Amino acid sequence: MIKVGILGYGNLGRGVEAAIKKNSDMELAAVYTRRDPASLTIKTEGVPVKSTADLDTGKEDIDVLVICGGSATDLPEMTPKYAAMYNVIDSFDTHARVPEHFANVDAASKAAGKVGVISCGWDPGMFSLSRVYASAVLPDGQDYTFWGKGVSQGHSDAVRRIEGVLDCRQYTVPVPAALDSVRNGENPKLTTRQKHTRECFVVAEEGADLARIENEIKTMPNYFADYDTTVNFISAEEMKANHSGLPHGGSVIYSGTTSQGTKHVIEYSLKLDSNPEFTGSVLIACARAAARLNAEGKSGAMTLFDIAPAYLCRQTGEELRAHLL
């Protein structure tokens, strides 16, 4: 059994907990929190909730620590810190800071003789794998990534910060015409606006100025100004009834050529009922690989690009070749 610790018990931490239950070779050893452990009740019976102070001793009896924190401030600090003590997994997704984060985790985990797998999830993660395999096979080609239809938590949060907004769920939606053109191998040049639209479902305070809220959303720089955005005001009941899940998904479409006039289109797509449960499932497969690679004497930072797929699987090589090849 691979003993897994979870650091952080938000949506993603709970997704990792759900994933562990589906993997017979993994067990949840403990959940670690920065809050008062007594304030937290987890779903897995008989498993302790502990303080990060315990984790900081470096002496916890775990094979892998899955760090479920945010990319903005948590992970850049936490992942290198714990990589110096344990095999670690994270879902770091701030693209511009990957080289720096990778270098920090690499230094810490190499010094400790541990493995640190960063940027696991579906994008970065499974989508990254699709881009890499496609470009390895068809170097003369181009990739496109479409997200959605799904809930963007960052955009939902941004709308919630507007005065008069009680709640919001923001869906990112690919533009069908853009998807069609890419799927047909036309290699179009697409602007931000041509690729995705944004749909907001907003619960406003009673008496709030709806026109002002709609305008503030649609003109918000970075988040909405470059997109065609639709704003729908709904009741709190409707929000709860129809928008309580965190579905997501999308497609990586790669179009390449092997000779004059010979085109190939590769598409990898995901349709996820729960973004955090799927992301947690990818983290857990990576946790298995980290434990195994470390047991073989490997150390240092890695991404999914550096891990042979068999390491992610419970099955033996013989079983994989017999049933999945």
Tell me which long-range contacts 296-300 makes (C-beta under 8 A, separation of at least 24).
Answer: 298/115, 299/109, 299/110, 299/112, 299/113, 299/114, 299/115, 300/106, 300/109, 300/110, 300/115, 300/116
Classify residue 260 as exposed, middle or buried by CB count within 10 Å of its CB (0-12, 13-18, 19+). exposed
* Closer residue to its own copies, CB minimum distance, 213 or 272: 272
- Residue 116, token pair as written in the block: 């640190």
Least distance to its own copies, CB of residue 311, Å: 9
CB-CB contact of 246 with 279 (8 Å): no
* Closer residue to its own copies, CB minimum distance, 85 or 117: 117
Q: How far apart are CA 114 and CA 281, in angstroms?
A: 22
* Closer residue to its own copies, CB minimum distance, 55 or 307: 307
* Closer residue to its own copies, CB minimum distance, 65 or 129: 129
Contacts of 215 (CB under 8 A, 6+ apart): none
Place of tokens 């053109």: 181
* Closer residue to its own copies, CB minimum distance, 215 or 269: 269
CB-CB contact of 57 with 5 (8 Å): no
* Closer residue to its own copies, CB minimum distance, 170 or 275: 275
Which H or E run contains 169?
strand 165-174
Least distance to its own copies, CB of residue 126, Å: 7
Q: How far apart are CA 29 and CA 285, in angstroms?
A: 16
Least distance to its own copies, CB of residue 99, Å: 7
Strands 141-147 and 115-117: what pairing? unpaired
Least distance to its own copies, CB of residue 225, Å: 26
Contacts of 220 (CB under 8 A, 6+ apart): 158
Least distance to its own copies, CB of residue 256, Å: 8
Q: Which residues contribute to the site for its own copies (CB under 8 A)?
A: 15, 18-19, 21-23, 95, 98-99, 102, 119, 124, 126, 128-133, 135-140, 143, 183, 185, 258-259, 261-274, 277-278, 280-282, 285, 288, 303-310, 312-314, 317-318, 320-322, 324-325
Least distance to its own copies, CB of residue 263, Å: 5
Distance of CA 238 to the CA centre of its chain: 27
* Closer residue to its own copies, CB minimum distance, 113 or 309: 309
Least distance to its own copies, CB of residue 158, Å: 24
* Closer residue to its own copies, CB minimum distance, 55 or 256: 256
Least distance to its own copies, CB of residue 205, Å: 32
Place of tokens 């099955």: 315
